[in-house]
Amino acid sequence: MSTPNRVLAVLLLVAGLLAGCVSRQDNSAPQAAPETVPLSELADVTLQIGDQKGGTESLLKAAGALDGLPYQVAFSTFTSGPPQIEAATAGKIDFAITGNTPPIFGAASNAKVKVVSAYDGGGFGDQILVPADSPIRSVADLRGKSIAIAKGSSAHGHTLVQLNRAGLTPADVKLVFLQPADALSAFKQHRVDVWAVWDPYTAQAEKELPVRSIARATGVTNGAGFGVASDAALADPKRNTALADLLVRYAKAVQWANSNREQWVQRYAAEVGLDPAVAATAQGRSLRLPTDLSDPLVASEQEMADLFAESGQIAAAPDFASFVDRRYADELRPYYLNRN
């Protein structure tokens, strides 16, 4: 081979190796945050925010946290966390707050999102319900029983962990994947034996139906909620800046709600159309308090992801830490609250 041809061959080989490195790069890893821009330059920005019946919008409004926004916000309502993750990946929303399991399913599907904030929900409202006259007394009694559950929701994760602790697997029960409204109907009509769900649905069932709880997530799972942002929003200087501001506003709003429980419950009930007694129960035990997106919390999510993979609920366990982005930690740290 002539010298020019050898040089060309080496160059092609190096180019091929570089291309191979690029193709193998893990695109899930957090990227460097773009430079922030002055809030005065965000007038043309509209943050698209996913919401659930938990009431992100109602909390922000009640606390006055949406007053004087230097950007616009638009809220979209979802039945549970997994559709929010899908919407963020598809570019339909920029941010949402979910339970502890939707981000695991998102990571397993390589969703284009990152976990950017954490909230301590305590897990008190995440429960497994049975009719009051059911012979089922404990999780160990669930073998062969049908369980209504929203796939990929915090209730899914809670149920999986409870089954594992009782020496059972998903193969030992019948998981019936239904969103809350359909699950409620199936439960009321006795088409399923069990309903695994979270607040405010748990509080609503306790108020309106003869039910018993056989298990709750407190002390069993981390009981956390997570703020999840789309990769596209995080990469955009203006939306990234707006998200930093919104997260601080939300943290301040939670502080207000925590210090003004009665006022918050009244506003929450009115905004989301709940019986005040149901709202009081749900928010009295399940208000999500800002907390540290810490290594132990991330590790607990990895443990749950591993369990989902081991039980065949997802194809493989993702590296959950690669879907965590702590760029807003310094701004949020002053607002962390401890659950008493």
In sequence order, the 6+-apart residues with CB closer than 8 A to the CB of 106 are 82, 85, 89, 113, 228, 323
Question: Cα dihedral sign for 271, 276, 280, 286?
Answer: negative
Whole-structure pTM value? 0.89
For residue 61 the two structure tokens come to 């409004």
Rounded to whole angstroms, the Cα distance separating 265 from 257 reads: 8
CB distance 196 to 148 below 8 Å: yes
Q: Tokens 């919008």 sit at which residue?
A: 57
Any idea what DSSP says for residue 152?
T
- Burial class of residue 151, CB neighbours in 10 A (0-12, 13-18, 19+): middle
Please report the pLDDT score of residue 54 as a whole number: 62
Question: Cα dihedral sign for 111, 115, 116, 121?
Answer: positive
Residue 6 half-sphere exposure toward CB, CA atoms < 13 A: 3
Please report the pLDDT score of residue 28 as a whole number: 61
Please report the pLDDT score of residue 29 as a whole number: 67
- For each of the chain's 340 residues, which pLDDT tens digit applies? 444 444 333 333 333 333 333 332 345 667 799 999 999 999 999 999 999 976 899 999 999 999 999 999 999 999 999 999 999 999 999 999 999 999 999 999 999 999 999 999 999 999 999 999 999 999 999 999 999 999 999 999 999 999 999 999 999 999 999 999 999 999 999 999 999 999 999 999 999 999 999 999 999 999 999 999 999 999 999 999 999 999 999 999 999 999 999 999 999 999 989 999 999 999 999 999 999 999 999 999 999 999 999 999 999 999 999 999 999 999 999 999 987 5
Please report the pLDDT score of residue 11 as a whole number: 36
Please report the pLDDT score of residue 338 as a whole number: 83
Rounded to 10 deg, the angle between the 276-286 and 261-272 helix axes is 120
